[in-house]
Structure 1
Amino acid sequence: MKALVYAGPKRVEVQEVKEPEKQDGKVKLNIRYCGVCGSDIGIYLGTHPRAKAPLILGHEFLGIVAEEGKKFKKGDRVVPYPLLSCGHCLACRSGNEHVCNTLGLIGIDTDGGMCQTVYTDEDVLFKVPDGVSDKAAAVIEPLAVLVHAIHMSGFEALDTAVVVGAGPIGMLCGIMLKHAGASKIFISDVVEKRLEIAEELGFIPVNPAKENLEKVVKDATNGEGCDTFFECSGAAVPAMQMTDITRVRGKICIVSVHKKPHEVNLRDVNFKEQTVVGTRVYTKEEFGRAAELTKELETELEKIVTHVVPLKESDKVFDMIADPECGTIKIVVDCENV
């Protein structure tokens, strides 16, 4: 079968690999779509600490059940909960397997789904609601990240929210905030094509290369700042600005994984009694909730899938992401087009 394989730093190749053999207790999936994640970029660059070549990429995949199972029937569309937890550490024993001390992920610690066929345990699969498009279903996994983040953030209906970073996670954050009843959603990015889509989705776009984000937000909030701030960029500047932009007793949610320490104004956190919370992936229940939410959010989810690339050309996806002229938000690989 064909697969997109990480072959070493800045090297990915569409290769012919051995099709997986039938495994007892597991169900065969024919892969339809697989999304490209920010973590895949780190793998491609050779900076991910755990991913080792050769490795089939991809943990955001949509599959078709190829043979009758115990829970699913042939032809069902499903998405897998891709986290790999030890089951023994304190986090796992206390029901927080998503922050397991040795948390792993399909497509990083084991071969992933950017290929034609996989075998997987049925108990990690969630059925895609009938009638939901494949394009919308392909973003269930990253949508689950935001189901969890908004739950953790303390966001309340009618809050004014700021989202920094209009990539897939930032856009999905905005979509979830709109669904949850935010009064205003400001979204910041330097890529104009992303901001155009953000405006179509009903968000207030801000390009910090042209406008002062803090001034824009404070002018719209009587000088107070936003109620809830979501850091989805992983960059140094917003890490320093977020306490200024957020009001007294406001909430700051760190969604992005910052690859190195950045300065944060902790005096603001003290003096303004702000709450700062970190988030990481999602629980299994939240993943299932994301699958169900596709019924309500289908139109918006489809808008952020800006590019569908055939598997046979998927070795180009990282060049596309790096090129701002492409205006990518979410790239999905069509694993049936080989």
Structure 2
Amino acid sequence: MKALVYTAPSKVEVRDVQPPEPVEGAAKVKMRFCGVCGTDIGIFAGKHPRAKAPLILGHEFVGVVEEVRGGKHGFKPGDRVVAYPLLSCGVCRPCRTGSPHVCEKLRLIGIDCDGGMADHAWVDESVLFKVPDELSDEVAALVEPLAVIVRSMHQARFQILDSAVVMGAGPIGILTAIVLKHSGASRIIISDIDEARLAMCAEFGFEALNVKKESLVDYVARTTNGEGVDVVFECSGVESAAAEMTKIARVGGTICMTGIHKAPHAVDLRDLNFKELTIIGSRVYTQHEFGMSVAYALALKDDLAKIVTQTVPLTEAESVFEMIADPAVNTVKVLVDCTK
């Protein structure tokens, strides 16, 4: 079968690989689409500490069940499915106390073992979720990143009519703003330096701010009478955001670390004290939240479809990372079409 294989830093190849062996208790899933994630970009760059070549990439996939070995979970050939991709050890303290999504030895499909950018894969039935008929394959491929946002909303304890700043207009940032809009936010400010992405944000009705042209701290102060916003979602992972996020939250406000910073960055802890701020982390999602996202995607399907900006056939996917890195292409969310 064909698969997109990470072979070395800055190198992927479309290869003919040996099909995986059938697994008891698993389903053979014929892949349709697989999203390219920021984690995949990090793997491609050779910067992910766990991903080892050769590796079939992809953990944001949708496919169709072709065969079932076991059948304890009720799946049958023809079912469209998405998969909760987290692999937990089951024995560490987080696993024993009900938080396997932050397992001390957490692994993921497509990072620690072969993933979904392939013709097919065998996936444990226990992590599969059936896709509603009304949901397109392309939107279903966004269920996994949507689950990241559902988790961060829960962590932030967002309430209806809260005002929010989203720092970073990448796929996760734009998804966060979309969820905020549908959850009743009174105001959504989203910042970035990419004009094309900010233009898309403006079309959604968000206040889109180019921080190359205007200070986010000054803008928030000016437009909130110096009070700040209720919730800040830090989705950029950049050093400047860490420095500014405490300045734009109101007294008693919340900062949710949705994006993962790859290096230690300075944070003004004086603001944490003087403004009695809450800073909370958000890593991935629970299996329950992943299931919620399957249903939630139906309510958001029209907006979700708009952020899929390119699809690339699997047979031509060797150039997908160069395409994403090219500022002239204006990508937001790119999917690999595993049927071509």
- In structure 1, the partner of 2:139 is 136
Which amino acid in 1 is paired with 2:112? D
SS in 2 for 1:95: coil
SS in 2 for 1:174: helix
> Pairwise mapping of residues 66-215 of structure 1 onto structure 2 (< 5 A)?
66-67=66-67, 69-70=71-72, 71-215=74-218
- In structure 2, the partner of 1:28 is 28
Count of residues paired in the alignment: 337
Deviation at 1:219, TM superposition (A): 2.1
SS in 1 for 2:179: helix
* Partner Cα separation in structure 2 for residue 217 and residue 327 of structure 1: 27
- In structure 2, the partner of 1:2 is 2
Deviation at 1:67, TM superposition (A): 2.4
Matched, 1:307 2:310: yes
Which amino acid in 2 is paired with 1:47? K
* Partner Cα separation in structure 1 for residue 49 and residue 43 of structure 2: 8
* Partner Cα separation in structure 2 for residue 73 and residue 199 of structure 1: 43
Contact 1:187 1:198 in 2 (8 A): yes
SS in 1 for 2:328: helix
Q: Encode CA deviations 1:250-301: one digit per residue, 9 max, x unaligned.
A: 1000011100000000001110000000111000000000000111000010
Matched, 1:63 2:63: yes
- In structure 2, the partner of 1:16 is 16
State the identity %. 58
CA RMSD of superposed structures (Å):
0.9
> Pairwise mapping of residues 240-251 of structure 1 onto structure 2 (< 5 A)?
240-251=243-254
SS in 2 for 1:61: strand
Structure 1 stretch 294-303 or stretch 208-217: which is displaced more? 208-217
TM-score normalized by structure 2? 0.97
Q: Encode CA deviations 1:182-222: one digit per residue, 9 max, x unaligned.
A: 00101111111111111111211000001111222222212
- In structure 2, the partner of 1:283 is 286
Deviation at 1:23, TM superposition (A): 2.0
Deviation at 1:223, TM superposition (A): 1.5
SS in 2 for 1:58: coil
* Partner Cα separation in structure 2 for residue 219 and residue 184 of structure 1: 14
- In structure 2, the partner of 1:335 is 338
Which amino acid in 2 is paired with 1:102? K
* Partner Cα separation in structure 1 for residue 26 and residue 249 of structure 2: 48
Matched, 1:39 2:42: no
Contact 1:4 1:15 in 2 (8 A): yes
* Partner Cα separation in structure 2 for residue 256 and residue 28 of structure 1: 33
SS in 2 for 1:324: coil
Contact 1:248 1:272 in 2 (8 A): yes
- In structure 2, the partner of 1:318 is 321
* Partner Cα separation in structure 2 for residue 281 and residue 181 of structure 1: 23
Contact 1:218 1:226 in 2 (8 A): no
- In structure 2, the partner of 1:48 is 48
Contact 1:22 1:119 in 2 (8 A): yes
Q: Encode CA deviations 1:33-87: one digit per residue, 9 max, x unaligned.
A: 0001111111101111001000000001101011254411211110000000000
